[in-house]
């Protein structure tokens, strides 16, 4: 399947693996890229730029296909060494960068000068238009269903994607709620040039996370996520657990007096304990409503091949059948 996204990133299928903290290691990115998608290494999971350089090199040993790196720009008292991470990306020969968080305009010139395509994650049409205006090559349009940070507008993809298609000139991929061939065909119908999957890729054989995490996603329904940190206007969709229940209780009790420090035990530094050690109640971790559509743990190749086969069947047979029937009538 050829789209503007497959052409831009030199990939076989219009499927991108989103950046995910303590998931986007070399093993994950290589498995997705080898299966024909665009695998993404998460830069800030690596403690230093040197660590990122090593991770990119490890990934290069596992695949000769295109890979990308996610670089999230966050407000911080002690900001990461962003210039160092960017140097590691450039020297590693990476040609695709997924940016997220704050406006990436300061880093765009150096990335573009080095032939790197930039896709920026957006949760609103106005943010997507801004990304377009500053020179991003593509955007990932992230609906309210998504795991992680859905923004504060609460617009689901059935509205957000067509709105983006109406406004944008650069290509975009759908993100949030994406799991299968139906997701891909629906996204294409609404104007996207491909789709980005996060939670779905965690529940794969190659995902370098604890088996408890994969089983928790398979066991969850679409009703099992919660929105936390809304009072702080830093909303995050997470899978419900004991820590999340405690966090929500604090939010309820403290109301407008809530400060980040009040919930730090539930949200700070918990990812290694959950993703690597399988301590499922250690804290809040990002998970999309799409968990309700995830019932197995395939390899990345099985997953992507299945998506493309299902998408082709839907386009050629199911949807095409409606037209044939109307002509016959």
Each residue's pLDDT tens digit, 146-180: 999 999 999 999 999 999 999 999 999 999 999 99
What pLDDT does residue 323 have?
Answer: 85
Average pLDDT over residues 216-225: 98
Going by C-beta distance under 8 Å and a sequence separation of 6 or more, which residues neighbour residue 323? Answer: none
What pTM, to 2 d.p., does this model score?
A: 0.96
3-state class (DSSP) for residue 83: helix
* CB contact burial 123-146 (16+ within 10 A = b; e otherwise): bbbebbbbbbeeebbbbbbbbbbb
Structure tokens at 133: 């205006």
On average, the pLDDT of the chain sits at 96
What is the per-residue DSSP string for 190-211? TT-SSEEESHHHHSSTT--S-H
Average pLDDT over residues 67-71: 98
CATH T-level assignment (fold) for domain 4-207: TIM Barrel (3.20.20)
- Residue 142 and residue 138: Cα distance in Å, rounded? 13
In this structure, the strands spanning 96-101 and 117-122 are parallel
pLDDT band, residue 328 (cuts 50/70/90): low
- Residue 208 and residue 192: Cα distance in Å, rounded? 29
Do 26 and 54 form a contact (C-beta atoms < 8 A)? no
| Structural domain boundaries in the chain | 4-207, 212-289
What pLDDT does residue 326 have?
Answer: 66
Give the whole-number percent of the chain exceeding pLDDT 90: 95
Position 26 pLDDT exceeds 70? yes
Going by C-beta distance under 8 Å and a sequence separation of 6 or more, which residues neighbour residue 159? Answer: none
pLDDT band, residue 78 (cuts 50/70/90): confident
- Residue 298 and residue 269: Cα distance in Å, rounded? 29
- Residue 168 and residue 4: Cα distance in Å, rounded? 13
For 319, phi and psi rounded to 5 degrees?
-70, -40
The H or E element that residue 183 is part of is: helix 181-189
List Cβ<8 Å contacts ≥24 apart for 182-189.
182/310, 182/311, 182/314, 183/307, 184/14, 184/15, 184/307, 184/308, 184/311, 185/311, 185/314, 185/315, 185/319, 187/157, 187/161, 188/3, 188/14
In this predicted model, what pLDDT tens digit does every residue of 256-283 receive, in sequence order? Answer: 999 999 999 999 999 999 999 999 999 9
Count Cβ atoms below 10 Å from residue 28 Cβ, excluding itself: 25
Count Cβ atoms below 10 Å from residue 234 Cβ, excluding itself: 13
In this structure, the strands spanning 67-73 and 117-122 are unpaired
- Residue 93 and residue 95: Cα distance in Å, rounded? 6
What sign has the CA pseudo-torsion 277, 301, 97, 183? negative
Do 173 and 138 form a contact (C-beta atoms < 8 A)? yes
- Residue 144 and residue 212: Cα distance in Å, rounded? 26
What pLDDT does residue 318 have?
Answer: 94
pLDDT band, residue 325 (cuts 50/70/90): low
Helix (H) and strand (E) counts in the chain: 15, 10
Do 71 and 42 form a contact (C-beta atoms < 8 A)? no
């Amino acid at each position: 399947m050829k789209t503007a996204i497959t052409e831009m990133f030199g990939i076989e299928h219009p499927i991108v693996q989103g950046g995910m903290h303590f998931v986007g290691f070399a093993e994950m990115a290589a498995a997705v890229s080898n299966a024909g998608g665009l695998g993404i290494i998460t830069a800030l999971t690596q403690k230093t730029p040197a660590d990122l350089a090593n991770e990119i090199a490890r990934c290069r040993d596992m695949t000769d296909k295109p890979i990308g790196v996610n670089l999230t720009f966050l407000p911080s008292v002690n900001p990461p060494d962003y210039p160092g991470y960017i140097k590691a990306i450039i020297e590693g020969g990476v040609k695709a960068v997924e940016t997220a968080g704050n406006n990436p305009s300061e880093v765009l010139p150096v990335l573009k000068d080095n032939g790197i395509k930039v896709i920026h994650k957006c949760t609103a049409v106005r943010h997507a238009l801004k990304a377009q205006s500053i020179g991003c090559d593509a955007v990932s349009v992230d609906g309210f269903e998504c795991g992680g940070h859905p923004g504060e507008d609460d617009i689901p993809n059935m509205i957000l994607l067509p709105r983006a298609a109406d406004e944008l000139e650069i290509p975009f991929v759908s993100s949030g709620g994406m799991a299968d061939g139906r997701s891909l065909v629906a996204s294409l119908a609404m104007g996207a040039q491909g789709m980005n999957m996060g939670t779905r890729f965690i529940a794969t054989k190659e995902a370098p996370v604890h088996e408890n995490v994969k089983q928790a996603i398979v066991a969850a329904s679409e009703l099992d996520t919660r929105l936390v940190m809304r009072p702080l206007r830093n909303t995050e969709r997470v899978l419900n657990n004991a820590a999340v229940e405690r966090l929500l209780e604090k939010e309820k009790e403290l109301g407008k007096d809530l400060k980040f420090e009040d919930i730090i035990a539930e949200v700070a530094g918990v990812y290694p304990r959950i993703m690597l050690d399988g301590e499922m109640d250690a804290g809040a971790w990002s998970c999309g409503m799409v968990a309700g559509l995830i019932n197995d743990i395939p390899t990345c190749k099985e997953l992507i091949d299945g998506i493309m086969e299902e998408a082709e069947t839907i386009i050629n047979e199911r949807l095409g059948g409606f037209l044939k029937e109307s002509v016959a009538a």
